[in-house]
Each structure stands twice: as C-alpha cells, then as structure tokens.
C-alpha cells in the first residue's frame, strides 16, 4: 500500500506502508512545494514521522477552555458531560 500526501508547506510525499500491519516504513519527498522554506525538504530525501507534522511556528494552538473565576457557558457544560 502506498499514499501520496501533501504537507502543510506544499511538498508532496510518497508514503509506503506494510500491507499486513499498515505501518508506514518509507516516507520520501517526491516534489518540493513552491512556497516551501524548509531547507531539509529536498526531492528524494526521507522524512521522519515528526517532520510531517504542521509547523508550530505557523499554526497557533487553539485553547478551547481555560480556568477562570467565572463558570463556562451552559452550552459548553453540556458538551463536557
């Protein structure tokens, strides 16, 4: 089994998986994205799994709720139950 994945930077990655386990054993950059600024994304190089995650500098984490002195709105309480 194999897949073609486009990374957050626009680079195309070929991912090869073991047919029995589904484990991805090979990840190779097939094409470089036009807007990619990552110097490690050269065509033909292998990618580690964590290199396929979105760049944390470009994607701010979203905080759903944080503790305050005021209780959350009623609709938020219903979704927590």
pLDDT tens readout for residues 3-57: 898 988 889 999 998 889 888 889 999 999 998 888 888 999 999 888 887 767 7
Measured CA to CA, the distance from residue 27 to residue 3 in angstroms comes to 9
- Which residue range(s) make up the domain with 19? 2-80
Number of structural domains in the chain: 1
Measured CA to CA, the distance from residue 81 to residue 76 in angstroms comes to 9
What's the pTM? 0.62
Measured CA to CA, the distance from residue 45 to residue 27 in angstroms comes to 8
């Amino acid at each position: 089994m194999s897949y073609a994945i486009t990374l957050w930077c626009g680079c195309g990655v070929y991912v090869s998986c073991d047919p029995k386990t589904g484990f991805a054993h090979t990840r190779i950059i097939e094409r470089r994205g036009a807007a990619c600024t990552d110097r490690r994304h050269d065509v033909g190089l292998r990618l580690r799994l964590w290199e396929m995650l979105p760049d944390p500098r470009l994607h701010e984490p979203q905080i759903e709720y944080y503790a305050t002195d005021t209780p959350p709105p009623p609709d938020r309480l219903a979704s927590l139950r």
